[in-house]
Amino acid sequence: MPTKVEKDSITGRETTGHQWDGLKELNTPLPKWWLYVFYACIAFAIVWAIIYPSIPMTGARGLSGWTARGAIGPELEAERQSREPMLAKLRAATPAQIAADPAMRAYALAGGRIAFANNCAGCHGSGGQGAAGGFPSLADDDWLYGGSFEAIHGTIAHGVRNGADADARGIAMPRFLADGLLTAPQVNDVAEHLLGFTGRATDAAAAERGAAVFAENCASCHGEKGEGNREMGAPRLNDQVWLYGGDKASILRSVGYARAGVMPDWAGKLDPAIINMLTVYVHALGGGE
Ligand code: HEC
Ligand code: HEC
């Protein structure tokens, strides 16, 4: 505790009365100008917090009612207006017409890329390269439902097995083992037969027996030689492209328990112009027919 105020003999200043081991502290107050700026800042902050949104002082609005969204609203509206003529054209045209018109095509590819990143890349990969577990590549010429403009447009608009859109694509494959349609040895035989399509069968006798199982149970959907069927979305089985894996364990699981890939329908969720742009974009990824 300071007991008495004394003056420092060298500087002539008052001391605060504190001392440590004989060292005395001089009383040097903040400069006045500094102090007033400091008070002004505090006053400014209080006024600001009342006028502009600041939780918990005045909630999300503030007295002035200013919002960031409101501030950018006119800009967004102007942006939308400037795009509207092109969007109207993209809505009215078919994807094939868009692709044939250089200006519309360039616009659709740029916009389609962004719409794809926003809505599709999570499942199909950022470049449409697909992902393990049943998400097909859209950048190759191996199509489940077809790679024409109309086919791609139909798939995007209605989706696959989503139970929400009556025109959704894809039928269900039977669960051959789970539902007792085939025995485990039969499933093994037919798996060997499928491996045989690409010269990978390890048990020739089983593959031979599997051919009969295949003709009877699978060819109606997957085709006599496993060439696939786009009407049903039954994948081609005689190539190296697999939705769920082409090793024997994956095939055994596909045949025994069936797979049912699901894709949402986008008609009604995305602007028809955007669906057209996506169609042109996907068509241009590499496999368009
Ligand atoms: C929730 C995941 C998911 C999302 C999101 C998704 N898809 Fe799909 N998509 C799938 C699945 C799964 C399939 C394959 C369905 C099957 O097994 O038959 C598929 C199939 C397709 C096909 C058919 C490919 C072929 O070979 O015929 C196209 C085209 C397609 N998607 C485009 C899109 C586009 C464009 C978007 C974004 C607007 C999109 N998808 C969003 C999961 C998704
Ligand atoms: C009713 C039609 C139908 C029948 C019959 C059928 N399948 Fe399928 N199969 C499909 C469909 C549709 C898919 C695609 C499922 C998906 O995309 O999610 C499929 C997928 C598969 C796959 C996965 C392919 C991949 O790329 O990963 C295999 C393997 C397969 N079937 C084998 C068979 C075998 C073997 C039989 C006969 C024992 C058979 N299927 C019978 C419709 C059928």
Q: Which ligand is nearest to the CA of 169?
A: 1
**In this structure, which ligand is nearest to the CA of 211?**
2
Q: Ligand 1: which residue has its CA nearest to atom 42? A: 263
Same domain, 153 and 198: no
Report how far ligand 2's centroid is from the alpha carbon of 43 (Å).
73
Q: What is the mean pLDDT of residues 221-225?
A: 95
Give the torsion sign (CA, 142, 146, 148, 154). Answer: negative
Residue 222 CA, ligand 2 centroid: distance in Å: 7
Q: What is the CATH number of the domain that holds 112?
A: 1.10.760.10
For residues 228 and 222, is the Cβ–Cβ distance under 8 A? yes
CA of 162 to the centre of ligand 1 (A): 11
Ligand nearest to the CA of residue 260, numbered in listed order: 2
Is the minimum distance from the CB of 254 to ligand 2 under 6 angstroms?
yes
Region 187-216 average pLDDT: 94
Domain match, 84 and 132 both: yes
Of 183, 207, 193, 200, the closest CA to residue 256 belongs to: 183
Residues 147 and 193 in one domain: no
Of the CA atoms within 13 Å of residue 156, those in its CB half-sphere come to 30
Q: Tell me: the pLDDT tens digits for 23-41?
A: 888 888 899 999 999 999 9
- Domain assignment of residue 120, given as a range: 71-168+263-283
- What was the pLDDT predicted at 11? 84
The pLDDT value recorded for residue 59 is 67
pLDDT band at 195 (very low <50, low <70, confident <90, very high): very high
Q: Show the tokens assigned to 217.
A: 């149970």
CB 176, CB 217: distance < 8 Å: yes
- Asked if 75 and 201 sit in the same domain, the reply is no
pTM: 0.81
Which is the closest atom of ligand 1 to the Cα of 120? 37
Do residues 105 and 233 both lie within one domain? no
Percent of the chain at pLDDT > 90 equals 79
Span 72-95, average pLDDT: 94
Domain match, 232 and 279 both: no
Residue nearest to atom 5 of ligand 2 (CA): 218
**282: Cβ–Cβ under 8 A, 6 or more apart, which residues?**
112, 116, 128, 138, 152, 156, 288
Query: Is 235 within a domain?
Result: yes
Is 158 annotated in a binding site? The answer is: no
pLDDT surpasses 90 at 69: no
Ligand 2 pocket residue status of 260, Cβ below 6 Å: yes
Determine the Cα–Cα distance for residues 190 and 176; give it in Å rounded to an integer: 11
Report whether residue 233 contacts ligand 2, using a CB cutoff of 6 Å. yes
Same domain, 246 and 278: no
Is the CB of residue 195 below 6 angstroms from any atom belonging to ligand 2?
A: no
CA–centroid distance, residue 195 to ligand 2 (Å): 14
Is 274 among the domain residues?
yes
Spacing, Cα 91 to ligand 2 middle (Å)? 36
